[in-house]
Amino acid sequence: MTAPTPTPAKPRARIPKTVWDLIFTLAIPIAILSPNLLGEGIGVASLLGGGQTGNVRAYVVSALIPVAYVVWDLLKNRTLSPVAVIGGVGAMLSGALAFWFVDGFWYAIKDSARLYLTALLFGLSALTAVPLFRVFLDATTIGESDADRQATNAALRDPVVHRGLVGATLLFAVMELVQGVINSYVNYERVVAKFGTDDFNAQVAQVNAIMRVPGMVISLIGVWLAISLVQRAVKVRYGADASLFEPAKLAERHRALQAGAAPVPSGEAQA
């Protein structure tokens, strides 16, 4: 008698990385800053010494946990892409600024420093041969053959597409600046307590929770608008059915133009 074939065990569902990101960059820091996490007025600050000392320690720990998470993620995945490097530098800047103990106006500026720096770097890069928004587009060629990647990168260096990249980079910089100004305003209006107090930590936690979704929405809108600018330039140069998200086809179009084929008229591309 043939033994029954055992049913293979179902693979355990993995927790999406987005969930881990929210846990370590939002949920845990907010929990640490809460003055009443464990009830009866007991929070992490009270476990770290209580009073001003405990509140300062809790604030620093809450700021460093996202930094440690980002660095661990980079080391674990050995991700050294430009996008990952920019994110890592931003996280480390935020970690370093955690030791700048200020409140009021300067805290509002400090909490948006990463956004202001990103806007400045992207804005300055628009004056160079490599606008920084291109680092996001390079990710679209992952998985393509070396020949197609080279052709796609050459397509992105085309003068028409390059102008689109410059505009996209400046637009992204403006959106980061807008996000920074809004974040600073909300912090200035809501984080009014003195640094090192229970109220200060609680207000910081509240603003972190309030601004997470609007911040993500503004960033996504900025990326979408910037990609649309580059996409339009690609269609003008390579044809109405050319797309950033089809690197192989884009590479083929670029090689055809380089070989002497007539370019697609701009009017047809925009039709």
* Confidence tier at 266 by pLDDT (50, 70, 90): very low
Q: H/E/C letters for each residue in 111-171?
A: HCHHHHHHHHHHHHHCCCCCCCCHHHHHHHHCCCCHHHHHHHHHHHCCHHHHHHHHHHHHH
pLDDT score, position 271: 36
Mean pLDDT confidence for 163-183: 95
The secondary element (H helix, E strand) that includes residue 228 is helix 198-238
Q: In the predicted model, what is the mean pLDDT of the chain?
A: 83
pLDDT score, position 102: 96
pLDDT score, position 215: 92
In tens, the pLDDT along 39-53 reads: 666 788 888 888 999
| Residue 7 confidence (pLDDT) above 60 | no
pLDDT score, position 8: 54
Mean pLDDT confidence for 200-207: 94
* Confidence tier at 270 by pLDDT (50, 70, 90): very low
In tens, the pLDDT along 218-244 reads: 999 999 999 999 999 988 888 888 887
pLDDT score, position 104: 95
Token code pair at residue 33: 């800053």
Residues in the chain: 271
In tens, the pLDDT along 85-102 reads: 777 778 888 889 999 999
Determine what percent of the chain is predicted with pLDDT higher than 90: 42
SS3 242: coil
In tens, the pLDDT along 114-156 reads: 999 999 999 999 998 889 888 777 766 666 677 777 777 777 8
Neighbour tally for 200: CB within 10 Å: 22
| Residue 73 confidence (pLDDT) above 60 | yes
| Residue 267 confidence (pLDDT) above 50 | no
pLDDT score, position 17: 74
Q: Are 133 and 223 in contact (CB under 8 A)?
A: no
Q: Return the sign of the alpha-carbon dihedral for residues 113, 115, 121, 126.
A: negative
Query: Helices 82-97 and 51-77, interaxial angle, to 10°?
Result: 170
pLDDT score, position 167: 95
What's the pTM?
0.81
pLDDT score, position 21: 82
Give the DSSP letter of residue 76.
H
Distance between first and last Cα of the chain:
70
